[in-house]
Chains A and B, each alone.
Chain A
């Protein structure tokens, strides 16, 4: 609708301008004719009117009707094209203003003519002058107002687009940095943790071979059992950490599933409650949220919970996810992580939270870290998400 309207507006402005020009051009002609009819205008040297009265009156009426028809038609066309804007309240007030002003201008013009004319002007002539002057001014002012209005709207639209472009650019840079960070993390995990442990495992295998060579099968069996156990832990924790750095759990599962799995990995002394609120509980919890949104929401909860345990030494963490429908297929997801820990002291230097905030802002949302009613800290975020109305739901 927005783009169509600006096109329609520009057409309307052009039409109104044309109508105005036609009218302005017609005014001197009418003026002349009326002068002549009322024995008022240029007179022949002999003192007789230049043309016969009846003939002239006919011409004058035709001209008048034509001008009025053009005015009415262009006014109607303009009104149809800009219908919505004319009907909008502030513009209706504007229309009254325009009409008043135009009436004033018309009257002043007629008055000035009346005073400057040699023998005073008859009634119909003055009335015609007032009407025409009003119409003329009306169109002129309307054209000016619409032009200014349209320009303003176009500028606002351009500004909005610029902001959007800048946001997209920021988001792109943010995504690139995030990707690089993940790559660095994964590389470190592979080099540091995994590689070291594999080196150790190889040493153990060598030791077992030595045991066998020295005829100690019982010892070898025992060492093998221990090695098998260690390799399994390595697979479970280290390999999982690398895999999840590359693709977080929430990418593969619904948000509620990922949060459930997170709950199972907390230390036994930490209690975590997850609540879904608002119309979108099914939407937020389910699979229909796009993976990028799920991953971001999950990362926020993960960061909040990790911070609560690490910095706040909290015993209880409360997570609330709330969906709020809004316009044009977009909703707003709110996520709040509260804890009962020690809370913030002074102005903390942010790192994980700052990274998340940049990601959230890149998507047009916001993220804050502040005090919580539970006594500790509160990490809260608001993120616009795609409203996934049509997609199938998984209740996992």
Chain B
């Protein structure tokens, strides 16, 4: 993404109040341009021309249809569009299962995070760099399933993987943990091996999906 061109975003949300909040929040943001907004699925499909949007922010509950079907339809028309799903209830399992077959893995924020300026803008910026973003609050609440490779990860590596799942770049992970970016890279290599990731896949994304598959969020 060149610095000259702003990130083009579409916002689809049925609650007018929330939509207004998100639009105001993104409108004030340099480098981000909201090119379309809609309350429902058919309205969104009409308003979002293929190729006109980089990231679509989709609520699950819509006026008509739902965010899942809409996200699929948008990626069917334009495989390059990235999807950020937003929901007031934990839908991570769904995002994980869709991402397995989507052109690019979907990102996910809780509705609360999506209305916090810092979180939403950070998520969009990370997505613009090609990373998958999973809501930090949910990532931190994740507990590995018993008897999975994830459960066997040492604490330090589990923490690195959590930050990667949140969409952080290696540099950001490094400064958060107080280690060097080189050390982060080394940790990631070990993590990829321990998680037994498929050959040829984008390891960073595959590791995030495995993280979701091998963990649960019992109270949410």
**Interface of A toward B, CB cutoff 8 Å:** 232-233, 235-237, 240, 252-253, 257, 260-261, 263-269, 271, 315, 394, 396
Pick the residue among A236, A394, A396 that contacts B220 (CB under 8 A): A236
Q: Quick one: closest B residue to A315, CB to CB?
A: B146
Bound Cα distance from A268 to B216, whole angstroms? 6
Bound Cα distance from A133 to B151, whole angstroms? 93
Q: Quick one: closest B residue to A264, CB to CB?
A: B93
- Interface contacts (Cβ under 8 Å), in number, total 62
Q: Are B97 and A266 in contact (CB-based, < 8 A)?
A: no
Bound Cα distance from A261 to B137, whole angstroms? 18
Q: Are A237 and B220 in contact (CB-based, < 8 A)?
A: yes
CB of A354, distance to nearest CB on chain B (Å): 28
Given contacts A233-B219, A240-B88, A257-B68, 13 further A-B pairs with CB under 8 A are: A236-B90, A237-B220, A252-B61, A261-B94, A264-B90, A265-B217, A265-B218, A268-B143, A268-B146, A268-B216, A271-B146, A396-B69, A396-B94
**CB-defined contacts of B203 to chain A, threshold 8 Å:** none
CB of B145, distance to nearest CB on chain A (Å): 5
Q: Does B129 contact A (CB under 8 A)?
A: no
* B89-122 interface (Cβ within 8 A of A): 89-94, 97-98, 110, 112
Q: Does B215 contact A (CB under 8 A)?
A: yes
Q: Are A240 and B89 in contact (CB-based, < 8 A)?
A: yes
Bound Cα distance from A188 to B98, whole angstroms? 36
Q: Are A269 and B97 in contact (CB-based, < 8 A)?
A: no
**CB-defined contacts of B110 to chain A, threshold 8 Å:** 236
Q: Are B93 and A260 in contact (CB-based, < 8 A)?
A: yes
**Chain A contact residues, majority secondary structure:** helix
Q: Are B217 and A264 in contact (CB-based, < 8 A)?
A: yes
Q: Are B89 and A266 in contact (CB-based, < 8 A)?
A: no
Bound Cα distance from A396 to B69, whole angstroms? 8
CB of A221, distance to nearest CB on chain B (Å): 16
Given A264-B216, A266-B218; A271-B145 close (CB under 8 Å): yes
Bound Cα distance from A269 to B137, whole angstroms? 22
Pick the residue among A237, A240, A266, A396 that contacts B68 (CB under 8 A): A396
Bound Cα distance from A268 to B214, whole angstroms? 9
Q: Does B50 contact A (CB under 8 A)?
A: no
Q: Per-residue 0/1 for B180-220: is the Cβ within 8 Å of any A Cβ (1 yes, 0 no)?
A: 00000000000000000000000000000000000111111
Q: Are B88 and A235 in contact (CB-based, < 8 A)?
A: yes
Q: Are A260 and B112 in contact (CB-based, < 8 A)?
A: no
Given A236-B90, A394-B69; A260-B97 close (CB under 8 Å): yes
Q: Does B144 contact A (CB under 8 A)?
A: yes
**CB-defined contacts of A269 to chain B, threshold 8 Å:** 145-146
**Interface of B toward A, CB cutoff 8 Å:** 61, 66, 68-69, 88-94, 97-98, 110, 112, 137, 143-147, 151, 215-220
**CB-defined contacts of B219 to chain A, threshold 8 Å:** 233, 237
Bound Cα distance from A255 to B219, whole angstroms? 21
Pick the residue among B61, B90, B97, B218 that contacts A268 (CB under 8 A): B218
Q: Are A236 and B89 in contact (CB-based, < 8 A)?
A: yes
A-B pairs with lowest CB-CB distance, top 9 = A264-B93, A269-B146, A260-B93, A268-B143, A268-B145, A396-B68, A268-B216, A261-B93, A232-B112
CB of B109, distance to nearest CB on chain A (Å): 13
**CB-defined contacts of A252 to chain B, threshold 8 Å:** 61, 66
Bound Cα distance from A240 to B91, whole angstroms? 12
Q: Quick one: closest A residue to B68, CB to CB?
A: A396
CB of B154, distance to nearest CB on chain A (Å): 17
Q: Quick one: closest B residue to A260, CB to CB?
A: B93
Q: Quick one: closest A residue to B143, CB to CB?
A: A268
Q: Are A265 and B89 in contact (CB-based, < 8 A)?
A: no
Bound Cα distance from A264 to B215, whole angstroms? 8
Bound Cα distance from A257 to B93, whole angstroms? 9
Bound Cα distance from A264 to B217, whole angstroms? 6
Bound Cα distance from A236 to B92, whole angstroms? 14
CB of A386, distance to nearest CB on chain B (Å): 22
CB of B100, distance to nearest CB on chain A (Å): 12
Bound Cα distance from A337 to B219, whole angstroms? 23
**CB-defined contacts of A268 to chain B, threshold 8 Å:** 143-146, 151, 215-216, 218
Bound Cα distance from A268 to B213, whole angstroms? 11
**CB-defined contacts of A315 to chain B, threshold 8 Å:** 146
**CB-defined contacts of B220 to chain A, threshold 8 Å:** 236-237, 265
**CB-defined contacts of A265 to chain B, threshold 8 Å:** 90, 216-218, 220
Q: Quick one: closest A residue to B112, CB to CB?
A: A232
**CB-defined contacts of A253 to chain B, threshold 8 Å:** 66
Bound Cα distance from A240 to B111, whole angstroms? 13
Given A236-B89, A396-B68; A267-B97 close (CB under 8 Å): no
Q: Are A267 and B218 in contact (CB-based, < 8 A)?
A: yes
Q: Are A260 and B94 in contact (CB-based, < 8 A)?
A: yes
**CB-defined contacts of A263 to chain B, threshold 8 Å:** 93, 216
**CB-defined contacts of A271 to chain B, threshold 8 Å:** 145-147
**CB-defined contacts of A261 to chain B, threshold 8 Å:** 90-91, 93-94
Q: Quick one: closest A residue to B89, CB to CB?
A: A240
**CB-defined contacts of A237 to chain B, threshold 8 Å:** 219-220
CB of B21, distance to nearest CB on chain A (Å): 16
CB of A194, distance to nearest CB on chain B (Å): 16
**CB-defined contacts of B98 to chain A, threshold 8 Å:** 396
Q: Quick one: closest A residue to B69, CB to CB?
A: A394
